[in-house]
Structure 1
Amino acid sequence: MSTLRVPQAVPSAAEDTEELRKAFAGWGTNEGLIISILGHRNAAQRKAIRHTYAETYGEDLLKALDKELTNDFERLVHLWTLDPAERDAFLANEATKRWTSSNQVLAEIASTRSSDQLHLARKAYHALYKRSLEEDVAHHTTGDFRKLLVPLVSSYRYEGDEVNLTLAKSEAKILHEKISDKAYNHEDLIRILTTRSKAQINATLNHYKNEYGTDIEEDLEADPKDEFLSLLWATIKGLTRPEIYFEKVLRLAISGHGTDEGALTRVIATRAEVDLKIIADEYHRRNSIPLDRAIVKDTSGDYEKLLLALTGHDDA
């Protein structure tokens, strides 16, 4: 469920392009005008604006925006203006270049996108970086992380609702055995998580809980300092309950000492047109404060205004 509010009568891409050009003209940039346009256009409309801007002014709109804007606001505008597949490719490339074992962005992209979305992200990655996402992930990761992430970003899962309950039962048993033995990197465990459809994994995990009395995530949270376990948890939650995964990312980004603007920016930019309404409801339920109020408490200026626009709360 999208939180993006697009006006009923949307100006043409040419009109929006002209207004954006005006926002860059003269002394200082009119950030409010940029927010009022880009913060209220869907992916197809933003793509048309970017195309028209390049044709009209001979410059990529992203380059123009990067020249005019700074800091967190600039990054949010940049990510938001990108085509969704390009955005995923950009974020994945960044994650490979700055790889650390606590970095869950690659698992996030691979597990929370549909098969077609992940396929488009891989195609965009080829076009942008002249390499495959798989080879970069393999190059920048090691050990168990590589063992999980390479097949995860390479997968093209069946997207339908058909499930095999006999298989769910047998694979729940495999998962329980491996987790009981602390064999978290076992090839069968990784194979199940990286190849089965989301519906099949849900059926397997439901059987796991019914048969063994606990959620698989509870069994995995035994050692919070184990970063590979954290990655497995993120993968499973991303595949089965993405709203719970993203709520946790937002909660950790907004609470505590200082804001993790990188995580906040990424989640709002990537989920505003997908399921941010569901994530925001989960956030409110879990934290007893609406997401937009938490954003107001933790951010400021144009960055805050665009975040609120993308959460559907310009007037917050």
Structure 2
Amino acid sequence: MSTIIVPAHATSITDDVEQLHKAFSGWGTDEKLIISILAHRDAEQRKQIRETYAATHNEDLLKSLDKELSNDFEKLVLLWVLSPPERDAYLVNEATKRWTKSNQVVVEVVCTRSSHDLLLAKQAYHARYKKSMEEDIAYLTKGDFRKLLLPLVATCRYEGSEVNMTLAKTEAKLLHEKLDDKCYNDDDLIRILTTRSKFQINATLNQYKNIYGEDIIKELEEDSKDEYISLLRATLECLTYPEKYFERVLRQAINKTGTDETALTRVVATRAEVDMKVIKEEYLKRNSVPLDKAIAKDTRGDYEDMLLALIGCDEE
């Protein structure tokens, strides 16, 4: 489901490094050359490029890019070059600096990654910021937000596909009871969302719809102006159908009132190697416009070219 286009034949990491170094040399920067390499290398290749670049030129590739690039193009390239765990750690740390809607970025990371990937992100967070992800979440949030976010970050979910249907029916009824009473911060409701496997939660939501004829996520949408309920809805979406969640983030980022480059950059950089193909399909279905056309209409220059390359719509 990745959309990046990697050369069919393995490329020389050494050649890539020298080409990148060449792009930084002389008068000006060759942005097109940078895009042609970095946008078409997978995570492992980018890791090798960064390691070889440091060994060859005695400087982190990220620092070289930071000196040569600027604006949204720079932010996108730097986010892309980070390893997935480093990227997740960075995104969560940045989110802790700007709460309210940034809470959803934490939810994106902790609810759409596997337990193993989340563990790697926590380790990267500890290595980079010299404290734990849980520590910052606990310190920088309060009330219902902390009550939901902290166990989401701390959890280690079962990844298997086994489902207990009796439990799914029981917990569907429990969720209905809590939502009917508007007890959105109930301990049992939060326990279900923060401890059950994604397969089990999917089964519970399916039972909810079968029994009550309503989609629980759509029910929560009615109270979407409440920031905590919006976070609760984002949690359910990220756990059960992340592609729909990310389509909505992109739709809201590319709109008539202006482009949210931060959100657009984040989603493309984090999902290009994961499920961007499905996100593109969801976007077309929901908006009747291909994602690449929407991006091309709202962005310009090297930033646009890098985005289109990562979603598989450049000329390579």
- What residue in structure 1 maps to residue 179 of structure 2? 179
Counterpart CA distance in 1 for 2:98 and 2:59 is 29
1:13 aligns with 2:47: no
Counterpart CA distance in 1 for 2:90 and 2:218 is 33
- What residue in structure 2 maps to residue 85 of structure 1? 85
Q: Specify the code of the residue in structure 2 equivalent to 1:30.
A: D
1:154-303 paired onto structure 2 within 5 Å? 154-303=154-303
Instruction: From the superposition, tell whether residues 104 and 171 of structure 1 become closer, same or farther in structure 2 (CA, over 3 Å).
Output: same
Counterpart CA distance in 1 for 2:95 and 2:102 is 11
1:94 aligns with 2:56: no
Asked if the contact 2:126/2:132 (under 8 Å) is kept, the reply is yes
Give the CA deviation at 1:102.
Answer: 5.6
Asked if the contact 2:163/2:203 (under 8 Å) is kept, the reply is yes
Give CA-to-partner distance per residue, 1:79-137, whole Å, 9 cap, x none. 00000011000000100122225641001111111111111111111111111000101
Give CA-to-partner distance per residue, 1:287-309, whole Å, 9 cap, x none. 00000010100100000000000
Counterpart CA distance in 2 for 1:101 and 1:272 is 23
Asked if the contact 1:95/1:106 (under 8 Å) is kept, the reply is yes
Give the CA deviation at 1:155.
Answer: 1.2
Q: Specify the code of the residue in structure 2 equivalent to 1:131.
A: K
- What residue in structure 2 maps to residue 57 of structure 1? 57
- What residue in structure 1 maps to residue 141 of structure 2? 141
Counterpart CA distance in 1 for 2:132 and 2:256 is 37
Give CA-to-partner distance per residue, 1:132-177, whole Å, 9 cap, x none. 0001011111110000000111111111110111111111111111
Asked if the contact 1:101/1:145 (under 8 Å) is kept, the reply is no
- What residue in structure 2 maps to residue 313 of structure 1? 313
Asked if the contact 2:23/2:30 (under 8 Å) is kept, the reply is yes
Which is worse superposed, 33-42 or 118-127?
118-127
Counterpart CA distance in 1 for 2:252 and 2:216 is 22
Q: Specify the code of the residue in structure 2 equivalent to 1:170.
A: T
What's the C-alpha RMSD, in Å, of the aligned pairs?
1.0
The count of corresponding residues between Structure 1 and Structure 2 is 316
Give CA-to-partner distance per residue, 1:223-251, whole Å, 9 cap, x none. 22101010001000000000100000000
1:25-44 paired onto structure 2 within 5 Å? 25-44=25-44
Counterpart CA distance in 2 for 1:25 and 1:103 is 40
Asked if the contact 2:308/2:314 (under 8 Å) is kept, the reply is yes
- What residue in structure 2 maps to residue 2 of structure 1? 2
Structure 1 unpaired stretches of 5+: none
Percent identity, aligned pairs only, is 67
Q: Specify the code of the residue in structure 2 equivalent to 1:313.
A: C
Counterpart CA distance in 1 for 2:21 and 2:108 is 35
Asked if the contact 2:95/2:102 (under 8 Å) is kept, the reply is no
Counterpart CA distance in 1 for 2:113 and 2:31 is 31
Q: Which runs of 4+ in 1 moved over 2 A?
A: 100-103
Q: Specify the code of the residue in structure 1 equivalent to 2:236.
A: I
1:117-136 paired onto structure 2 within 5 Å? 117-136=117-136
Asked if the contact 1:253/1:261 (under 8 Å) is kept, the reply is yes
Q: Specify the code of the residue in structure 2 equivalent to 1:104.
A: Q
Counterpart CA distance in 2 for 1:180 and 1:241 is 23
Which is worse superposed, 96-105 or 192-201?
96-105
Counterpart CA distance in 2 for 1:51 and 1:63 is 13
Counterpart CA distance in 1 for 2:127 and 2:102 is 28
Asked if the contact 2:134/2:150 (under 8 Å) is kept, the reply is yes
- What TM-score, normalized by structure 1, do the two folds share? 0.98
Counterpart CA distance in 2 for 1:224 and 1:156 is 28
Asked if the contact 1:102/1:227 (under 8 Å) is kept, the reply is no
Q: Specify the code of the residue in structure 2 equivalent to 1:45.
A: Q
- What TM-score, normalized by structure 2, do the two folds share? 0.98
Counterpart CA distance in 2 for 1:256 and 1:240 is 29
